[in-house]
Chain A
Amino acid sequence: MKNLIAKILTAAIVAPLGIASCYAQTEASLKPIKTFKAHNLQGESLIQVQYSPSSLEFITAASDGKVKVWQEPAKEVMEFSQQPPAMLFNGRLEADNRTVITAAYNGFATRWSTKGTPAQSYGPHLSGVTDVELLPNGEGVVTSSDDGSIRLWSDNGKLLKRIETPGVTRHLALASKRDLIAASQDMSTVTILSTKGEVLQTFKAGQGRLNDVIFSPDEQLLLTTGFNGTIKIWELANPHMSPKLKTTIQASETGWINGIALNKKGILASVGDDGTVRLWNLQGKELAKVGLTNKHILSCSFSPNGEKLLVAIQDGTIAEFAI
């Protein structure tokens, strides 16, 4: 009986029911609300913006070495940086709204607390840390790096596991309900791991360098984007088996797509080198677009209810949209 219940629960998680109803989303609009300067960045810079999974607070992490926590657009509540400052590749605000994690060029990931708990570092890698995710249930942290490794660390910073991959491993995505990690490589492969660090499979995305990899909110779909301007939507029913390619979207003809985000209603946002913000449905139909800037847009994030979108421009400007 226990096994049967477990099977039913597993089927409920694995079957792509929730997202299927979102495929036919036909309407959405982008309404600019506010822009503000979060960081003063010059030249070839990096900036990531990320909402908390549970509130309208968000963080920005940038190549000036600073990660900033914002209560709302233009209302900063806290800022962290290493000494000496190290360029940040990535950052996230966790669902508790007080834990921030960052990935830095100097080979360290750091967990910060807005409540004054001392910072905890994870490293060193042999080169820059490109991304970091907090594992579920306090099981520690996973990091990726220019040194080609994916590493799992205990909560207090002890190295637990090291997995070598070819080239750079650049982005991580976590499916916490399924205990899965997706890690993208610059040679256009995606490695699927368990949260214990077991490599389940590696598949070729065929998009050149991958600039982003995300799971859908129900964790059934995996989305990849990058070098060749496409977004690919994969159905990952069984993490041990090659995913099924559902849709390919040519999201830009003129350059990289740098960031994607998907809300619970099945609306997909993309930003890239062409300075345009676009919304899509999961069948690949363009629903809305706004030409925002002549600079690169590097990152985007939906609010938890999916009704707001933040995008981060190369010069440190953040733009907020209503969906």
Chain B
Amino acid sequence: MNLLQSKPSIGHLLLGLGMAISGFTLPAQAGIEVIREWKAAPVLLQNVEFSPNGKQILTASGGGEAQLWTLDGKASSPIMAGQRPPMFNAHFNRSGTLIITTSYNGTVGLWNTQGHLIKTLPVHEAAVADARFVGNQGNFVTSSDDGQVVLRQATGAPSWSGGHPGTARQLVVSPQANLIVASSDSGSVHLIWLDKTGKPTKMSTIKTPHGRINQLSTTADGKTIAASGIDGTVSVWNTKGEMLYQLKATTKGWANGGMFCKTKTGPLLTVGDDGVIKEWTRTGQILAQRKLSDKSRLTKVDCSPSGNQAAVVGSNGELWLLAITSKQ
């Protein structure tokens, strides 16, 4: 495990290291149960997300398709397609009434939750890596292979932008809608603070030890950030840019997901190339782990709004619905 380039105290680091190592000696599989698994796409799934009411799951695929599913594993929308693949991301707005999808040819798609296209907006002249709604007025933020993070009005018109070396890849907006967190493939995480009108007020950058970051997440209070990287670890930071701890999320390859459950003390879920999902406390202690696949890489994870379920997607189009039962 590579606990380097960190600002926390030696004590914190040792704590993180000890806990991470001790995680491999704990009884496996306590606290994570598979409810069901189904094939949600013929190719790699790039992203998974619960609807805000927790009743549906949204997937985005390398084949350029988004799809809504019931928790029973049934498709609940037509396939949302037509943009150039791969589709790296698809997300709901806060009220769960709209979906935004990305494309490789620089557009975002806006869809209703019946899976019908409302409009396609050209926003970049390179691949769109991520797009997230910001606030309740339809504004959104996009990131791209052109290195730009662009805050946009509902029309797609840019209202602010920032450029960085490397792909501007992952985005997350805090539940309070006062903070946008964006990653660059150079390993940087950018914090863009917004005022009540959604206008950026200040920006800071955290240099992580990861390189490319595959998923970003914030806690419910928006004060803690998880970043999962191609070095196989997930690092956890406060918004001052101090690393709190770093977890070994996978025994091989990349850490592809690190997601905080949004309940008050909800756990952090991580997934990686080794096919294992792990559940961690907010202080970096492992609670449970479960091997979901010997053949597939786990490519992304989300936690249900109630915090008692997780959805995980895989490199061969699998979708797992899991029960999270550990008590903290």
A positions within 8 Å CB-CB of B: 42-44, 84, 107, 124-128, 145-149, 164-168, 185-188, 208-209, 227-228, 256
Contact = CB atoms under 8 A, between A and B. Distances in A.
Contacts of A146: 145, 166-167, 185, 212
B125 A127 contact: no
A166 B43 contact: no
Given A149-B165, A168-B167, A43 B147 contact: no
Contacts of A44: 43, 62-64, 85-86, 104
Nearest to B86: A44
Contact of B146 (A124, A127, A145, A167): A167
Contacts of B186: 126-127, 147-149, 164
Secondary structure of the B contact surface, majority rule? loop
A148 B165 contact: yes
Secondary structure of the A contact surface, majority rule? loop
B78 interface: no
Query: Most chain-A Cβ atoms within 10 A of its Cβ — which of B63, B144, B145?
Result: B145
A149 B211 CA distance: 12
Contact of B163 (A127, A128, A145, A167): A167
A110 B296 CA distance: 25
Interface residues of B, number: 34
Contacts of A148: 147, 164-167, 184-186
B147 A127 contact: no
B105 interface: yes
Contacts of A107: 211, 230
A168 B187 contact: no
Contacts of B62: 43-44
A209 B211 contact: no
A126 B106 contact: no
A166 B127 CA distance: 14
Given A126-B166, A146-B166, A209 B145 contact: yes
A186 B211 contact: no
B126 interface: yes
B89 interface: no
B233 interface: no
B148 interface: yes
B63 A167 contact: no
Contact of B147 (A42, A145, A166, A227): A166
Contacts of B43: 42-44
- Of all A-B residue pairs in the complex, the 9 with the closest CB atoms, nearest first, are A167-B147, A148-B165, A208-B125, A126-B211, A148-B166, A127-B185, A209-B126, A127-B212, A186-B126
Contacts of B106: 208-209, 227
A211 to B, nearest CB: 10
Contacts of B185: 126-127, 145-148, 168
A209 B166 contact: no
